Structure 1
């Protein structure tokens, strides 16, 4: 891997770090990112909440236990305390990013997101069909042109496109996709909302930052 490519990936990871950290502030303030007054937010974080909170509890207990075990070793105690607190914040931040960065349905299309790691804009004119389609991906490689945006190991919406769009991964890898499978807390209501918005025929320049 070239040095320039590694530097680009490092910048991507730092940007991701900044996004989930900012999401903690948005979560505390009960605000959402990129949802304008004419938009409809389609949440997807509910399915992962039990796992996220369970991990936070386990890591918090571990932090207390390790602190007692290393109390006689100040340097090791400080290092492990910082790492454990960072881990707790990371898990909370990733969940906060999922809560505060929902999918966004606007007059001009659909913004499909997965926390702070994926942000895919699909123009309305490229959405050929959308349907409720509950799946449990096994993690194996999907067919070419299909993007699976699973939450808690499940997807519940399948969006077929008339023209491909470009999905950019966390590390900057670009992929042309013609089918997007993602999850929504209320997938049937999401399908209804998307179809209704498509029928409205309104135009909109793109997502709100």
Structure 2
């Protein structure tokens, strides 16, 4: 990997860090990112909440335990405390990003998002079909032209497109996709809302 690529990746990682940190502030003030007047927010964070809060509890207990064990070693104690606190805030930030950055449905467009990692804009006039479709995709067996936006290892809605859209990964990789599997807390309501906004010939 070239120096330029490393710098680009570092910038993208820093931007991701900034997004989830900002999400903590949005979460604390009960605000959402990218949801305007007249838009429909489609939540998806509920499925992963038990796991994320469980991890926060585990890391908080670990932080207390490690702090006790390293109390007599000030430097090591400080280093581990900072790392553990960062980990706790990271997990909280990832959940906050999922809560405050929902999917967004508006006339002419659907934004499919996954926290601070993915933001895919799909023109409604490119949607050939949309339906409730519970799936548990295998991340180790990706399919060409298919994007799995799984939450808690599941997707619940499938969209097929008449023309591809470009999905950009966290590291900047661009992929043309014609089928999108994604998750919503209430998939049937989300599907009905999308169908209601599709063009007459959609």
Root mean square deviation of aligned Cα: 1.0
Q: Which TM-score applies when normalising by structure 1?
A: 0.94
Q: How many residues align?
A: 201
Is this contact kept in 1: 2:98–2:115, CA < 8 A? yes
Q: Which TM-score applies when normalising by structure 2?
A: 0.97
Is this contact kept in 1: 2:124–2:199, CA < 8 A? no
- Alpha-carbon distance in 2 for matches of 1:185, 1:10: 33
2:96 is matched with: 96
- Alpha-carbon distance in 2 for matches of 1:145, 1:20: 28
2:167 is matched with: 167
Structure 1 gap ranges (5+): 202-209
2:116 is matched with: 116
1:128 is matched with: 128
- Alpha-carbon distance in 2 for matches of 1:122, 1:179: 11
Q: Give the 3-state SS of the residue equivalent to 1:128 in structure 2.
A: strand
2:38 is matched with: 38
Q: Give the 3-state SS of the residue equivalent to 1:91 in structure 2.
A: helix
Shift of 1:28: 0.3
- Alpha-carbon distance in 2 for matches of 1:73, 1:142: 47
2:196 is matched with: 196
- Alpha-carbon distance in 2 for matches of 1:165, 1:139: 20
Structure 2 gap ranges (5+): none
Shift of 1:137: 1.3
Shift of 1:142: 2.0
